[in-house]
Amino acid sequence: MGSINIGVLASGRGSNLEAILQSCEEGRIDGKVSVVISDVEDAYALERARKHGVPAVYIPPGKFKTKLEPEIEAQYVRVLTEHGVDLVCLAGFMRILGSCLIGEFRGRILNIHPALLPAFPGLEAQRQAWEYGAKVAGCTVHFVDEGVDTGPIIIQRAVPVLDDDDWHTLADRILEQEHKAYSEAIQLFAQGRLVVEGRRVRILPC
């Protein structure tokens, strides 16, 4: 596929964004981050983007707490399109996408989730796993569909739950794997090596 333009949606500190930016700059991803959009005006992710010379755009979230209104989604689509985005990556973006954005970028939206899906979807997945008594946790990179953490799975990384873990220490170790797995999945997309067959994602050889 060649070099791709990546648009990142983020709501918080943007540590996965930072990992993506560094992977692009170090040549581990054949592409560049072309724009970062946040629904939180003072999100540190926007500051990270500016430090890397990437356009940082704040779009007010609208009246809903967990999703975007169609009119707001249309603004996202406009900004992403203006920046020539080939792939949209959610990096701690705390809103559910609707049909407008998904329809425009179907098959070209990725998300990273801090659990081994389909276990522990939704918020505070690391805490869910720890409180449940799971012995193995981890992270999942998946395509985004209309559900919550339900899209076809691309990559998963397992992280053991240690006896002396609390959910914060577990989350820290999962995050280390998130940074690696997300960049790997983006590079696979950039290389045109991901084929979705129903619920399965087949990774083509180099």
CB 10 within 8 A of CB 38: yes
CB 158 within 8 A of CB 136: yes
Q: Which of 149, 153, 141 is nearest to 181 (CA)?
A: 141
Cα(113)–Cα(131) distance, integer angstroms: 17
* Catalytically annotated residues: 113
Number of C-beta neighbours around residue 168 at 10 A: 10
Q: Extract the tokens encoding 1.
A: 């596929």
Q: How many CA atoms, within 13 angstroms, populate the side-chain half-sphere of residue 84?
A: 7
Nearest 5°: CA angle at 89, between 53 and 156? 125
